[in-house]
């Protein structure tokens, strides 16, 4: 594990000591190399985990997420070059340092063995994200957005600390590798119900669950492009990952306690998809679609069947790449027209045909077109929830239809339509942007050839 | 307290914005008014801002809705601070930016007169998903002390020679007649623009009679109701007229008259604020633009510019705010030429498209108000003499408004709005007294001066995008008939911005490119 952590940590002094015209090149290249190192962790041994040390381990659930995280750093750096070009050198280096710190903390979070260490790093990832949103965001509302983001997540996760300390006291260890064999079924007393809530609250806010999702549209819309990418791709998956780890300790209370959250997720899925249909801000559409898909993951994790766990993992990886790509596309629009409103930039297919191809592919992936892993994830979750209760198929089916509706609405509004005069002179697509889209899409398409990497520990 | 909560409830009801909008609007709503800046949540009746009189200055700090008392003021200060810190308020820990415009806006309208507000209204009305476009209106003088809108005589007529002008006025009068359907705001009293449908009477001498007949034919084709009168018919209908030198007269029988421009302006302002348009008190000092060298289909190279930032300078301060924008609308009236120069329009070798300036200038015009007890009665239309002198009835007490456009040689200096009373004695009174003998004895009560946004090219408006600065749209240059065509022009510009072409009234002959190609749309009936 050190072979990833030390290079990532050393990226920081490298950024500060680079020559001004080499900061982007150096950081992007070396972070790409680090992501290639992390690919070796995908070679998992069956049911068991790869125990790297007393502190770090990786199994088939955390390895794909780890690779996603390390893959995303070079992509974030490539995406941020344009909007940072007018900042001073020190600010650029500071921004890159924030991204690298966030990367470091995320790598350690996904591979932590001790749950307390996981918790500390989970909280620590909030700080660089907050700094990125509030310092480099676009508008005055970013302060509000940062506040919402910070307070929602903090308040949600404080009970988790108490719960973890309690579990440490009763079971004597919080090392995940040990505790998964040491769990006893817990009875349904009031204190155990509160314990369950305390454990779950943090992750449920992070996912986010429908009733607690207010911070997400604000944070995603006001964040700069790299902030949006890392939020959508990785930070939301922290919630899913944490939930999947911690539900092992909480049987069988989950069977009763999960009902309200299941209901909220099922209903929220359809609700947020419908909200997407009425959104006018491009980034807002993508943010709400993130909420909608993560609601599927919540449903899957709370059902706790093998198929649903496979679906949840696949969906998390797929969403990571898809929503990050959609944010990059929205950002390329924003940089040209200087506005995020969808109706002000239309007929882009006629002016930027290659970008239209990327838009099409990203939208098709968002729609869960076969054979992408988006479809595998959604399909597994739908099937598992159908076997849990037949009625859920109605809501899931509605959600799939509305997802298709708003994705196509987004596609046709930006790519087709009537020509207006103020988009006559937008810049053609840069190679940098095309590379960015290709690097997002390539893993997604390759995974559809070999999805078992992304299907998690149960496969 | 109860009244405040009731009003808060009433405030939020009809506007009903969702919680997750990207604007991050205040859920609690701001009950205090601030000169109309944060308009998205307030129904104006509940705030301390009134729209019937002049707006209080935007930097009113105390709220004092419940009456005076210093303790009341302090309590509401503290409440305001708490409200702004809670989630949902726009709290900036570093410094107070509430007087500054937002950092980005989709459309920035330079100029908050009737044309600018009309464009804002129609943009918000015609946008397909409701609440899609963020509009910012930048107006440097919220008292409108030098704006052409409020200093105007307020007439509306369809008697133009260009068919598009007739169509514009026909739609505008329909707008004005149904103004309370268009501009209704919940909980606010209906508007009364005091429309006097007395009609216009244009008189023509022998020379102009043939042109007048042609014009009337065009007007009738477009649907205006105009009748031609011979001198005897004139004498029958209006016995106070001296028809010497008049060969023909055209009298508008319907949809013509005059109204109160201040009321239209305030009605538009109130409605536009309720639709979510932001107002800013400042002056546009700079446009930051980026340009691209592109090739046309025939292979020649053009430099297309796009304005991506507008620098708005706050009044009486050196502070300015760069506003990132996608579209800029130049509705600055008489000062549109200066705004266009800021955008680089006209900077190039003369005779090329780059070197074609926006030919809109300030021209000063005087309006005189006099009293004449034996003057014409209540049926007096808006009379326009062949010499260019005009007058109309004002009120019910034998007061009349009138003036005359000076010739090119005697144009007054537009540096200030001082009135030249000798102009009345020398140029306005003699033709008036000749036309209406009763006006030989009159007493001038008052006078004022206002600016025309005079289009030196052909005295007709400029509408639509600029061919080279591709995201600047014009809505200016109407040379004295802007107020009466404002609603229709606003709709045309909004259609151009949202759809890319004119949908209802085809104003393609009013585009900027006619200044380069030299095709004049000469309007003969300009007063």
Considering only the beta carbons, identify the residue of A279, A283, A422 that sits closest to B470. Answer: A422
B-chain residues near A145 (CB < 8 A): 24
- pLDDT confidence tier of residue B93, bands split at 50, 70 and 90: low
Note whether B102 contacts A: Cβ–Cβ < 8 A.
yes
Considering only the beta carbons, identify the residue of B19, B131, B325 that sits closest to A338. Answer: B325
Residue B30 φ/ψ, nearest 5 degrees: -105, 120
Min CA distance, B279 vs chain A (Å)?
Answer: 16
- Residue to test with chain B: of A83, A85, A133, A144, most B Cβ within 10 A: A144
pTM value is 0.86
Q: CA-to-CA distance for A223 and B22, rounded, in angstroms?
A: 12
Count chain A–chain B contacts defined by CB atoms under 8 A. Answer: 111
Q: Is the pLDDT of residue B183 over 80?
A: yes
Instruction: Say how many C-beta atoms besides its own lie within 10 A of residue A132's C-beta.
Output: 25
Min CA distance, A361 vs chain B (Å)?
Answer: 26
- pLDDT confidence tier of residue B86, bands split at 50, 70 and 90: low
Q: Alpha helices of B38-191 — where are they, by DSSP H?
A: 70-85, 114-126, 163-177, 179-182
Q: Alpha helices of A278-372 — where are they, by DSSP H?
A: 282-303, 306-337, 348-351, 353-366
Considering only the beta carbons, identify the residue of B90, B324, B500 that sits closest to A338. Answer: B324
Instruction: Tally DSSP H helices, then E strands, for chain A.
Output: 20, 2
Considering only the beta carbons, identify the residue of A139, A342, A420 that sits closest to B102. Answer: A139
Alpha-carbon torsion (A252, A253, A255, A261), positive or negative? negative
Note whether B96 contacts A: Cβ–Cβ < 8 A.
no
Burial category of A324 from C-beta neighbours within 10 Å (exposed 0-12, middle 13-18, buried 19 and up): buried
Strands B226-229 and B389-394: unpaired
How confident is the model at residue A432, as a pLDDT? 95
Name residues 59-88 of chain B within 8 A of A (Cβ).
Answer: 87-88
Instruction: Say how many C-beta atoms besides its own lie within 10 A of residue B275's C-beta.
Output: 20
Measured at the alpha carbon of residue B64, what is the angle toward residues B60 and B68, in degrees to the nearest 5?
120
Min CA distance, A420 vs chain B (Å)?
Answer: 4
Instruction: Tally DSSP H helices, then E strands, for chain B.
Output: 13, 17
Q: CA-to-CA distance for A119 and A124, rounded, in angstroms?
A: 8
- The alpha carbons of chain B give a radius of gyration, in whole angstroms, of 25
Strands B472-476 and B320-330: parallel
Question: Which residues on neighbouring strands pair with residue B450, listed in sequence order?
Answer: B365
Note whether B174 contacts A: Cβ–Cβ < 8 A.
no
Contact assignment for A141 to B23 by CB distance below 8 Å: yes
Q: Is the pLDDT of residue B362 over 50?
A: yes
Note whether B325 contacts A: Cβ–Cβ < 8 A.
yes
Name residues 5-24 of chain B within 8 A of A (Cβ).
Answer: 18-24
Strands B135-139 and B104-110: parallel
With a pLDDT cut of 70, the percent of chain B lying above it is 84
**What stretch of H or E contains B138?**
strand B135-139
- The alpha carbons of chain A give a radius of gyration, in whole angstroms, of 21
Question: Which residues on neighbouring strands pair with residue B249, listed in sequence order?
Answer: B203, B229
Output the furthest CA–CA distance in chain B (Å, rounded): 77
Contact assignment for A147 to B87 by CB distance below 8 Å: yes
Considering only the beta carbons, identify the residue of A144, A217, A341 that sits closest to B132. Answer: A341
How confident is the model at residue B54, as a pLDDT? 37
A-chain residues near B97 (CB < 8 A): 140
Q: CA-to-CA distance for A143 and A107, rounded, in angstroms?
A: 27
Name residues 211-230 of chain A within 8 A of B (Cβ).
Answer: 214, 217-218, 221-222
Burial category of B346 from C-beta neighbours within 10 Å (exposed 0-12, middle 13-18, buried 19 and up): middle
Note whether A149 contacts B: Cβ–Cβ < 8 A.
no
Note whether A339 contacts B: Cβ–Cβ < 8 A.
yes
How confident is the model at residue B11, as a pLDDT? 40
- Residue to test with chain A: of B16, B21, B22, most A Cβ within 10 A: B22
Measured at the alpha carbon of residue A318, what is the angle toward residues A316 and A324, in degrees to the nearest 5?
95
Min CA distance, A211 vs chain B (Å)?
Answer: 12
How confident is the model at residue B221, as a pLDDT? 92
How confident is the model at residue B88, as a pLDDT? 57
Name residues 246-275 of chain B within 8 A of A (Cβ).
Answer: none
CA-based nearest residue to B150, from B36, B50, B51, B265: B265
Q: CA-to-CA distance for A430 and A436, rounded, in angstroms?
A: 10
Q: Is the pLDDT of residue B91 over 60?
A: no
- Residue to test with chain B: of A420, A427, A430, most B Cβ within 10 A: A420
CB-based burial, B41-65: b 16+ in 10 Å, e otherwise: bbbbbbbbbebeeebeebeeeebeb
Considering only the beta carbons, identify the residue of B324, B325, B470 that sits closest to A425. Answer: B470
Note whether A425 contacts B: Cβ–Cβ < 8 A.
yes
Min CA distance, B262 vs chain A (Å)?
Answer: 33
Considering only the beta carbons, identify the residue of A140, A278, A420 that sits closest to B90. Answer: A140
Q: Is the pLDDT of residue B27 over 90?
A: no
Contact assignment for A344 to B133 by CB distance below 8 Å: yes
* Positions of chain A with pLDDT lower than 70, given as ranges: 46
Q: Is the pLDDT of residue B21 over 60?
A: no
Output the average pLDDT for chain B: 83
Contact assignment for A280 to B131 by CB distance below 8 Å: yes
Q: How far is CA A312 from CA A11, A238, A304, A317, in A?
A: 32, 13, 10, 9
Considering only the beta carbons, identify the residue of B24, B102, B292 that sits closest to A425. Answer: B292
Instruction: Say how many C-beta atoms besides its own lie within 10 A of residue B405's C-beta.
Output: 18
């Amino acid at each position: 594990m050190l072979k990833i952590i030390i290079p990532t940590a050393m990226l920081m002094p490298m950024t500060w000591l680079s020559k001004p015209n080499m900061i982007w090149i150096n950081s992007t290249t070396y972070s790409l190399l680090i992501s290639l190192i992390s690919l070796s962790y995908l070679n998992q041994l069956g049911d068991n985990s790869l125990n790297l040390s007393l502190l770090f381990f990786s199994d088939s659930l955390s390895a794909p997420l780890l690779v996603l995280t390390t893959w995303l750093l070079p992509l974030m750096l490539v995406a941020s070059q344009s909007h940072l070009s007018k900042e001073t050198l020190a600010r650029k280096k500071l921004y890159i340092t924030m991204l690298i710190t966030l990367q470091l903390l995320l790598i350690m979070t996904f591979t932590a063995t001790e749950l307390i260490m996981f918790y500390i790093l989970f909280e620590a990832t909030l700080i660089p994200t907050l700094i990125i949103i509030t310092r480099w965001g676009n508008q005055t509302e970013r302060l509000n957005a940062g506040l919402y983001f910070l307070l929602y997540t903090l308040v949600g996760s404080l009970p988790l600390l108490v719960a973890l300390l309690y579990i440490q006291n009763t079971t004597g260890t919080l090392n995940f590798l040990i505790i998964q064999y040491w769990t006893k079924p817990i009875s349904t007393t009031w204190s155990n119900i509160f314990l369950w809530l305390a454990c779950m609250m943090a992750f449920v806010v992070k996912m986010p669950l429908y009733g607690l999702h207010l911070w997400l549209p604000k944070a995603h819309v006001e964040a700069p492009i790299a902030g949006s990418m890392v939020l959508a791709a990785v930070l939301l998956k922290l919630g899913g990952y944490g939930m999947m780890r911690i539900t092992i300790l909480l049987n069988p209370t989950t069977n009763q306690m999960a009902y309200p959250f299941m209901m909220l997720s099922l209903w929220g899925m359809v609700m947020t998809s419908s909200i997407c249909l009425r959104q006018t801000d491009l980034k807002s559409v993508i943010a709400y679609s993130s909420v909608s898909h993560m609601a599927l993951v919540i449903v899957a994790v709370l059902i706790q069947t093998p198929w649903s766990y496979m679906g949840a993992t696949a969906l998390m990886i797929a969403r990571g790449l898809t929503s990050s790509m959609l944010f990059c596309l929205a950002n390329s629009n924003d940089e040209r027209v200087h506005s995020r409103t969808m109706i002000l930039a239309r007929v882009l297919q006629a002016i930027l045909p290659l970008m239209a191809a990327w838009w099409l592919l990203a939208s098709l992936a968002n729609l869960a077109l076969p054979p992408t892993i988006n479809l595998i994830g959604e399909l597994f979750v739908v099937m598992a929830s159908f076997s849990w209760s037949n009625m859920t198929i109605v809501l899931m089916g509605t959600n799939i239809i509305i997802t298709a509706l708003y994705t196509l609405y987004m596609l046709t509004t930006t790519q087709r339509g009537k020509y207006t005069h103020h988009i006559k002179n937008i810049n053609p697509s840069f190679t940098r942007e095309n590379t960015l889209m290709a690097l997002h899409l390539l893993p997604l398409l390759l995974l559809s050839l070999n999805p078992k990497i992304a299907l998690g520990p149960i496969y | 307290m109860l009244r405040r909560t009731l009003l808060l409830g009433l405030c939020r009801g009809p506007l009903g914005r969702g919680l997750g909008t990207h604007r991050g609007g205040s859920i609690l709503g701001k009950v205090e008014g601030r000169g109309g800046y944060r308009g998205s949540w307030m129904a104006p009746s509940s705030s301390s801002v009134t729209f019937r009189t002049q707006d209080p200055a935007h930097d009113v700090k105390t709220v004092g809705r419940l009456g005076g008392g210093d303790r009341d003021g302090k309590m509401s200060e503290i409440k305001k601070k708490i409200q702004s810190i809670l989630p949902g308020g726009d709290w900036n820990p570093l410094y107070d930016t509430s007087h500054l415009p937002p950092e980005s806006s989709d459309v920035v309208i330079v100029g908050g007169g009737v044309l600018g507000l009309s464009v804002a209204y129609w943009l918000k009305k015609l946008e397909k998903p409701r609440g899609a476009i963020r509009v910012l209106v930048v107006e440097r003088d919220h008292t409108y002390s030098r704006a052409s809108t409020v200093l105007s005589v307020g007439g509306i007529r369809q008697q133009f020679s260009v068919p598009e002008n007739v169509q514009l006025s026909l739609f505008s009068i329909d707008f004005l007649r149904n103004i309370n359907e268009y501009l209704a705001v919940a909980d606010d009293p209906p508007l009364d623009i005091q429309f006097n449908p007395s009609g216009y009477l244009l008189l023509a001498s022998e020379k102009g009679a043939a042109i007048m007949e042609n014009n009337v034919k065009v007007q009738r084709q477009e649907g205006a109701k105009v009748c031609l009168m011979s001198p005897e018919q004139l004498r029958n209908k209006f016995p106070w007229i001296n028809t010497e030198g008049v060969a023909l007269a055209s009298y508008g029988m319907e949809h013509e008259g005059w109204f109160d421009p201040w009321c239209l302006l305030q009605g538009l302002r109130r409605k536009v604020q309720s639709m979510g348009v932001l107002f800013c008190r400042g002056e546009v000092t700079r446009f930051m633009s980026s340009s691209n060298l592109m090739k046309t289909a025939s292979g020649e190279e053009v430099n297309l510019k796009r304005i991506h930032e507008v620098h708005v300078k706050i009044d009486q301060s050196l502070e300015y705010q760069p506003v990132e924008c996608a579209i800029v609308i130049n509705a600055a009236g008489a000062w549109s030429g200066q705004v266009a120069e800021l955008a680089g329009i006209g900077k190039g070798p003369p005779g090329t498209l780059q070197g074609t300036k926006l030919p809109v200038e300030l021209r000063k015009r005087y309006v005189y108000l006099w009293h004449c007890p034996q003057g014409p009665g209540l049926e007096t239309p808006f009379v326009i003499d062949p010499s260019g002198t005009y007058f109309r009835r004002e009120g019910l007490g034998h007061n009349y408004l009138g003036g005359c456009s000076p010739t090119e040689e005697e144009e007054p200096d537009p540096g200030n709005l001082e009135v030249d009373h000798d102009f009345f004695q020398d140029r306005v009174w003699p033709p008036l007294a000749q036309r209406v003998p009763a006006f030989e004895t009159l007493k001038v009560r008052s006078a004022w001066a206002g600016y025309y946004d005079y289009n030196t090219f052909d005295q007709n408006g400029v509408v639509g995008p600029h061919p080279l600065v591709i995201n600047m749209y014009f809505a200016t240059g109407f040379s004295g008939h802007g107020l009466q065509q404002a609603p229709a022009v606003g709709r045309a510009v909004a259609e151009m911005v949202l759809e890319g072409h004119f949908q209802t009234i085809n104003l393609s002959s009013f585009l900027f490119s006619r200044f380069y190609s030299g095709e004049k749309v000469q309007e003969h009936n300009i007063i």
